[in-house]
Amino acid sequence: MPGPHFARRDPNDPAFWDERFTQRFMPWDQGGVPPMLARFVADAPTPLVTLIPGCGLGHEVRHLALAQWDVTAIDFSPAAVASAHLALHEFAGHVQQADFFTFQPERPLGFIYERAFLCALPRERWPAVAARWAELLPAGALLGGFFFFDDAPKGPPFGAGPDDIAALLRTAFVLEEDVAVEQSIAVFAGKERWQLWRRRND
């Protein structure tokens, strides 16, 4: 059987992701809710207004909505959004097509959830991602999720070195939690950490 064939090579281009979702090539997809996110939601004292940038199939949307969190998930790939809508049934209304770099939330955010979005983009885009995270989150709000540590030059996924994420975030955020992830899927196994960063006062 022939493997998938991709013409697009630039992950900054929605068409790159369209090809992969259309051909059902999604090695990053967890197929469910990562246990560390479920624990974070269960332990949170109050539901948070949440944004999921680059949501892909958006498995987390159902979990957050059922926990009464006000969740919006965005993706700039029309094929990703169509796949998420199909997968999420009655929760599809939480997912919209939008570019993270221009998206404007309707309500002030309390939490941005990160999973396989930063590492989907080439490292030269990372300062722009970090600047947008800082713009979108008010003082005291949280950025949290899964960060991928690896030094392979090619991607996606593009990994960080041990100090890269701290260098990227420490001006605008304070690290509150940093834990190794034990139940990773194959592409991220042994190389991802759950981190929680709180937005500083400007």
Q: Which residues contact ligand SAM (rule: CB under 6 A)?
A: 17, 28-29, 53-57, 74-77, 80, 99-101, 115-117, 120-121
CB of 54 to ligand SAM, least distance (A): 3
Dig out the tokens for 152 from the structure: 């392979």
Length of the chain: 202
Shortest distance, CB of residue 45 to ligand SAM, whole angstroms?
A: 25
Is the CB of residue 187 less than 8 Å from the CB of residue 115? no
Looking at the Cβ atoms of 17 and 133, the one nearer to ligand SAM is 17
Q: Which is nearer to ligand SAM, 33 or 49 (CB)?
A: 33
Q: Which is nearer to ligand SAM, 128 or 174 (CB)?
A: 128
As measured in angstroms, the least distance from the Cβ of 81 to ligand SAM is: 9
Q: Judging by DSSP bridges, how do beta strands 111-115 and 50-53 pair with one another?
A: parallel
Proportion of the chain in helix, strand, coil states, percent, rounded to 5: 35, 20, 45
Closer residue to ligand SAM (CB): 109 or 116: 116
DSSP letter, residue 7: -
Shortest distance (Å) from residue 200 CB to ligand SAM: 24
Sheet holding 111-115, edge to edge: 95-97, 71-75, 50-53, 111-115, 142-148, 192-199, 173-180
